[in-house]
A and B are shown apart, each in its own frame.
Chain A
Amino acid sequence: MPFFQVEQLTKKFGETTVVDRVSFSLEEGRCVALLGPNGAGKTTTLKMLTQLLNPTSGTIQMDGYEQNADLRTQIGYLPQYPIFHNWMSGKEFLEYVGKLTHLTPTEAKVRACELLEMMGLADAANRRIGKYSGGMKQRLGIAQAIIHRPKLLLLDEPVSALDPFGRREVLELIRELKKDTTILFSTHVLNDAEEVSDDIIIINQGEIKVAERLHTLQEQHQQPMISLQTKAPIHPLIKGWEDWDGVTEIIYEEYAAKVVVTEMEAIKKKMLADIVAKDIPLIAFEVQKSSLEDLFMKVVRG
Chain B
Amino acid sequence: MKQWLVLFQKELLEMARNYKLIWLPLVFILLSMIDPLTTYYMPQILEMSGGLPEGAVFEMPLPSAPEVLMMTVSQLNLLGVLIIVLASMGTIAAERKSGLAGMILVKPIPYSSYVTAKWAGLSVVGLVSVFLGYLAGWYYVTLLFEPISFATFLQSYLLFALWFVFIFTLTIFFNTVVKVPGLVAFATLATVIVLSVLTNTFEKWMMWSPAQLTGNVGSLLIEGRTLEDLWLTVMVTLILVVLLMISAVNILRNKELAE
Find the B residue at minimum CB distance from A141.
Answer: B103
Q: How far is the CA of A160 from the CA of B150 in the complex (A)?
A: 64
Contact check, A79 vs B103: say whether CB atoms are below 8 A apart. Answer: yes
In the complex, what's the smallest C-beta–C-beta distance from B105 to chain A, in angstroms?
A: 7
The dominant DSSP class at the B interface is: helix
A residues in contact with B250, CB < 8 Å: none
Which residues of chain A are near B102, meaning CB under 8 Å?
52, 79
Within 8 A of A (CB), among B98-135: 98-100, 102-109
Say yes or no for A47: interface residue by CB 8 A criterion. Answer: yes
A99 and B2 within 8 A (CB): yes
A50 interface neighbour in B10, B106, B109, B254, Cβ under 8 Å: B106
- Give the complex CA separation of A85 and B2 in angstroms: 20
Q: Is A262 an interface residue (CB 8 A)?
A: no
Q: Is the CB of A72 within 8 A of B104?
A: no
- State the CA gap A47–B256 with chains docked (Å): 10
Query: Is B251's CB within 8 Å of the partner chain A?
Result: no
Chain A proximity of B191: nearest CB distance (Å):
29
Chain B proximity mask over A50-74: 1 for CB below 8 Å, otherwise 0: 1111100000000000000010110
- Cα–Cα, bound, A87→B222 (Å): 46
A83 contacts B by Cβ under 8 Å: yes
Partner of B6, one of A53, A70, A81, A100: A100
Complex formed: what's the CA distance from A193 to B67 in Å? 74
Q: Is residue B7 within 8 Å, beta carbon to beta carbon, of the partner chain?
A: yes
Whether B107 lies near A83 (C-beta < 8 A) is: no
Q: Interface range on chain B: under 10, 10 to 19, 20 to 34, or 35 or more?
A: 20 to 34
Q: Which residues of chain A come closer than 8 Å to B6, judged between CB atoms? A: 96, 99-100
Q: Is A259 an interface residue (CB 8 A)?
A: no
Please measure, in the bound complex, the distance between the C-alpha atom of A102 and the C-alpha atom of B1, giving whole angstroms.
11
Contact for B18 among A43, A53, A87, A144, CB less than 8 A? A87
| A-chain residues with CB within 8 Å of residue B74 when the two chains form the complex | none
B14:A85 contact, CB within 8 angstroms: yes
Across the interface, which residues of A come within 8 angstroms of B18, CB to CB?
87
Set of chain A residues within 8 Å of B108, measured between Cβ atoms: 70, 72-73, 100-102
Contact code string A194-234 (vs B, CB < 8 Å = 1, else 0): 00000000000000000000000000000000000000000
For residue A82, CB closer than 8 A to chain B, the reply is yes
The listed residue (B14, B100, B104, B258) touching A100 by CB distance below 8 A is: B104
Instruction: Identify the interface centre among A70, A97, A100, A101: most chain B CB within 10 Å of its CB.
Output: A100
Give, as a whole number of angstroms, the nearest-CB distance from B232 to chain A: 40
Cα of A99 to Cα of B9 in the assembled complex, Å? 12
A32 within 8 Å of B by Cβ? no
Indicate whether A185 reaches chain B with its CB closer than 8 angstroms: no
* Chain A positions 230-282 with a Cβ under 8 Å from a chain B Cβ: none
Minimum CB–CB distance from A109 to chain B (whole Å) comes to 13
- Complex Cα gap A51–B106 (Å): 7
Cβ contact within 8 Å between B100 and A83:
yes
B3 part of interface (Cβ distance < 8 Å): yes
Chain B, residue nearest A96 (CB): B10
Q: Does B257 contact A (CB under 8 A)?
A: yes
Is A285 part of the binding interface, using a Cβ–Cβ cutoff of 8 Å? no
Q: CB-CB contacts of B119-161 with A at 8 A, as 1s and 0s?
A: 0000000000000000000000000000000000000000000
Q: Is the CB of B100 within 8 A of A53?
A: no
Name which residue of chain A comes closest to B105, CB basis: A52
B98 & A97 in contact (Cβ 8 Å cutoff): no
Contact partner of A72 (CB less than 8 A), chosen from B98, B99, B100, B107, is B107
Cross-chain contact B103 with A82 (CB below 8 angstroms): yes
Q: Would you list the 9 A-B pairs with minimal beta carbon distance, nearest first? A: A72-B108, A52-B258, A83-B99, A99-B6, A73-B108, A100-B107, A87-B17, A77-B106, A83-B100
Which A residues lie at the B interface, using CB under 8 A?
43, 47, 50-54, 70, 72-73, 75, 77, 79, 81-85, 87, 96-97, 99-102, 144, 148
